[in-house]
Amino acid sequence: MPVTQPLITINPQDPVPLVEQIVSGVKQLIEQRVLRTGTRLPSIRDFAVQHHISRFTVVDAYDRLVALGYLLSRRGSGFYVAPLNKPEETVSSTSYLDRADDVLWLLHNTFRDVPDAVRPGCGWLPKDWLDEKVIQKSLNELSRKSGYFLTGYGDVNGYLPLRQQLAKKNLADIGIHADAQQILMTNGASHGLDLVARLFIKPGDVVLVDDPGYYTLFGFLKSMGARIMGVPRLLNGPDVSALQQLLQEHRPKLFFTNTVLHNPTGTSTSLAVAHQILQLSEKYGLYIVEDDIYGDFHPQNATRLAALDQLNRVIYVSSYSKTISASLRVGFIACQADLANRLLDLKLLTGLTSSEINQRVMYQILVEGRYRKHMEKVRSQLEVKRAQVIRALEECGLSIHAEPAGGMFVWAKLANDKNAAEVASEASKQNIMLAPGNLFRPYQEPSSWLRFNVAHCEDDKVFELLRKRY
């Protein structure tokens, strides 16, 4: 194939990264049978010259196409179109799972059981930090009761006493005034985020997210066909200037943000920045989805957008998966009443109800004071561990983004701008599972940052690796 003839069209001005454009373009040619099985693609050098891009970009794209089964790599010969194990006529779909391929790979590996693995990069508390007796006691009490809740679907909105408790106590304590009709129970926070995304987003819509931010969110937004764009995260919250520019250019409907003890940086949005964000949301008709899953780890009453806005343009999402039990899957959405009704309709269509048994267990944990005592203990443990881990990371030559006021995460940068993904790959050979910063970028852009979970940094092997090699 002549070097001067481009294989696909690439737009350097498109917010979609070049690698993803190449993967999408080549896949389309293969699926449309423009490129037939056995066809040799341009060499890496020729493709780079044809499209005026770097060879590293081509290598990355070709590797992804091999991993997805579209290309075969033959050593010393090049890259060839692989046989497609798909029927000639395929059913059209509104799901774009291939766009979330990197996130799916990560999630599969996150939940894979690796014996003796050290997990300083994980996003949950250690098993021995979570009090099983708190759950067992509530389950035992519940098992002695009889009722339709044991076999029925329950209230489709969620267990009413729990929603009332959340409205009158838990939300009121952080300044959010709502009634039970504004609260919809979900199967964890991810379910809540998914329902909101399904309600608002159509394929091709621009959606704003934190950069860095929550990689699972990135994955399912991509799977819906959304075009995600990152709002850079500064020490005091989202970059308001960058947010305003994106709003002016793209007029998105949604901005997903993690306000308190942000994942992965551990920082919280300041009051001044929160006010500016809400002013922009009003001006540009933006809905803000506030993910507050880590808020209860904060030792004080930190600023919430939902408290300042009182659920006008803010949709508040939280859960107890990180604090009590991931297995219970008890989460909730708080928002305007009419919006809660629309989300309820979507919940019914996609999954009917959420477990009343689990919600009753969580209700007992809350009203009997067990949750408050448990969180006081966890916050104290995290405070001690954060100081120890920050000191150890600095001794290893890493720079700390900020010292968080609470929570489990510390965001640290490798010296000399080393590639965190390469460090994580090397660490995995020693069964040390790190969380490189590229995973938290909207399109996995290269990063020299790592997220550390201080509760999982007990093993000295983590710091020995960093001291010796990096």
The residues pairing with 74 across neighbouring beta strands, listed in sequence order, are 78
Q: Looking at 209-218, 376-385, 441-450, which range is the least confident one?
A: 441-450
Return the H-helix or E-strand segment holding 426. helix 420-428
User: Of 41, 449, 422, 461, whose CA–CA distance to 267 is shortest?
Assistant: 449
pLDDT of 4 reads 58
Q: Looking at 30-34, 303-307, 435-439, which range is the least confident one?
A: 30-34
How many other CB atoms are found less than 10 A from the CB of residue 100?
A: 21
Q: Looking at 71-75, 335-339, 347-351, which range is the least confident one?
A: 71-75
Exposed/middle/buried for 12, CB within 10 Å: 0-12, 13-18, 19+?
A: exposed
How do residues 36-58 score in pLDDT, each as one tens digit?
Answer: 888 889 999 889 888 889 888 89
Please, what is the end-to-end C-alpha distance for the chain in angstroms?
A: 43
pLDDT of 452 reads 96
- Contact assessment for residue 207 and residue 256, using Cβ atoms and an 8 Å cutoff: yes
State pTM to two decimals: 0.78
Beta-carbon contacts of 207 under 8 Å, excluding residues fewer than 6 positions away, are 197, 201, 221, 226, 227, 228, 229, 252, 253, 254, 255, 256
How do residues 131-156 score in pLDDT, each as one tens digit?
Answer: 888 888 888 888 888 777 777 788 89
How do residues 236-249 score in pLDDT, each as one tens digit?
Answer: 999 999 999 999 99
pLDDT of 105 reads 54
pLDDT of 197 reads 95
- Contact assessment for residue 362 and residue 162, using Cβ atoms and an 8 Å cutoff: yes
pLDDT at 128 over 60: yes
pLDDT at 82 over 50: yes
Beta-carbon contacts of 266 under 8 Å, excluding residues fewer than 6 positions away, are 401, 402, 404, 407, 409, 410, 411
Beta-carbon contacts of 384 under 8 Å, excluding residues fewer than 6 positions away, are none
pLDDT of 86 reads 47
| Mean pLDDT score, 277-299 | 97
Contacts 24+ apart (CB under 8 A), 90-95: 90/31, 94/203, 94/224, 94/225, 95/223, 95/224
- Contact assessment for residue 365 and residue 138, using Cβ atoms and an 8 Å cutoff: yes
pLDDT of 95 reads 56
pLDDT of 90 reads 42
How do residues 284-294 score in pLDDT, each as one tens digit?
Answer: 999 999 999 99
- Give the C-alpha separation, 58 to 66, whole Å: 12
pLDDT at 339 over 90: yes
Could you tell me which residue, 310 or 419, shows the higher pLDDT?
310
How many other CB atoms are found less than 10 A from the CB of residue 390?
A: 18
Strands 287-291 and 314-319, sheet pairing:
parallel
Q: 159 by DSSP, 3-state: which?
A: coil
| Mean pLDDT score, 338-366 | 93
450: which DSSP letter?
Answer: E
pLDDT of 308 reads 97
Cα 202 to chain centroid distance, Å, stands at 20
Q: What does the mean pLDDT of the chain come to?
A: 88
User: Of 247, 246, 206, whose CA–CA distance to 228 is shortest?
Assistant: 206
pLDDT of 114 reads 64
How do residues 183-231 score in pLDDT, each as one tens digit?
Answer: 999 999 999 999 999 999 999 999 999 999 998 899 889 989 999 999 9
pLDDT of 145 reads 83
